[in-house]
Amino acid sequence: MPSRCLNILILLLLSLSSRAQLVDERIVQINGVIMTADSLRGVSNAVVLVKNKNRGVESSQLGVFSIVCFKGDTLQFNALGFRQKEYVVPRVLEGQYFSLIQLMVQDTFYLPETIIRPFMTREQFDYAFRNNMIPDDQYEIARKNTDLFTLRALAMTLPKDGRESQAMYQQQQFQKSIYYGQMPNMKIFDPIAWGEFFQAWKRGDFRKKKY
């Protein structure tokens, strides 16, 4: 029984060592330099990533880099102003060290045209500053939409919802209940209303105004 356990332990150790040896054989260290294709100058601060592995390095000022990966991995080369390049590490490499020179082609892109024209005189600048219509930004649009006068005007034009209609109906019922069993009060016999009418007449509120 002890000999059988010893044999099993030896087999496990051999399998683990063989597996570790296979993993070690797949690992490769790539030392290389990234250069421009036209002038063979080193590309500084280029990013070298192992695709789908979330690992990478950055090249030096001379374009030199060093990265460890597995044989068969794909390397991605990215640099500002250059087209992205990919390199597949061969699976049949011998040894764990490999040298690479990666050439990158400049990528030309065009920005929208911008024309700047100076004003000729101070008077022209003042006129344009006062009369040109500058579109409102998001802050100004929000300020106008939340203006108190605008909100009141919208509140007067919008139809009443269910809660407001119910409150108005209850207010009308309350006013009717005050004069329940008797005639409602008429403003024509109200002395206060007559006094306000005479004051308005003296002030000339009913005169026809000329514009």
pTM over 0.85, yes/no: no
CATH assignment at residue 82: 2.60.40.1120
Q: Are residues 82 and 165 in the same domain?
A: no
In this prediction, residue 143 carries a pLDDT of 87
Q: Are residues 86 and 161 in the same domain?
A: no
Q: Are residues 67 and 9 in the same domain?
A: yes
The sheet that has 55-58: what strands, in order across it?
Answer: 55-58, 47-50, 74-78, 85-88
Q: Are residues 87 and 166 in the same domain?
A: no
Whether 111 is covered by a domain: the verdict is: no
Whether 46 is covered by a domain: the verdict is: yes
In this prediction, residue 82 carries a pLDDT of 92
Q: Are residues 91 and 168 in the same domain?
A: no
Q: Are residues 126 and 154 in the same domain?
A: yes
Q: Are residues 6 and 64 in the same domain?
A: yes
CA 55/CA 27 separation, integer angstroms: 14
Give me the number of domains the chain comprises.
2
Q: Are residues 133 and 40 in the same domain?
A: no
Q: Are residues 181 and 126 in the same domain?
A: yes
Q: Are residues 22 and 95 in the same domain?
A: yes
Decide which of 104, 137, 167 is a domain's last residue: 104
Decide which of 104, 135, 157 is a domain's last residue: 104
Whether 161 is covered by a domain: the verdict is: yes
* Residue 168: both structure tokens together: 């108005």
Domain that holds residue 74: 2-104
In this prediction, residue 76 carries a pLDDT of 94
Decide which of 104, 130, 163 is a domain's last residue: 104
Full pLDDT tens readout for the chain, 211 residues: 555 555 555 555 445 444 544 446 788 899 999 999 888 899 999 999 999 888 899 999 999 999 999 888 999 999 988 999 999 998 888 888 889 999 999 887 777 888 887 767 888 878 877 888 888 888 888 888 888 888 888 877 888 788 888 888 888 888 788 777 777 767 677 778 788 888 888 887 777 655 4
Whether 208 is covered by a domain: the verdict is: no
What is the CB neighbour count within 10 angstroms for residue 75?
A: 22
Whether 183 is covered by a domain: the verdict is: yes
Distances (CA, A) of 86 to 76, 109, 115: 5, 21, 39
Contact, 62 vs 45, CB < 8 A? no
Q: Are residues 94 and 6 in the same domain?
A: yes
Contact, 84 vs 78, CB < 8 A? yes
Whether 171 is covered by a domain: the verdict is: yes
Whether 210 is covered by a domain: the verdict is: no
Whether 191 is covered by a domain: the verdict is: yes
Q: Are residues 17 and 83 in the same domain?
A: yes
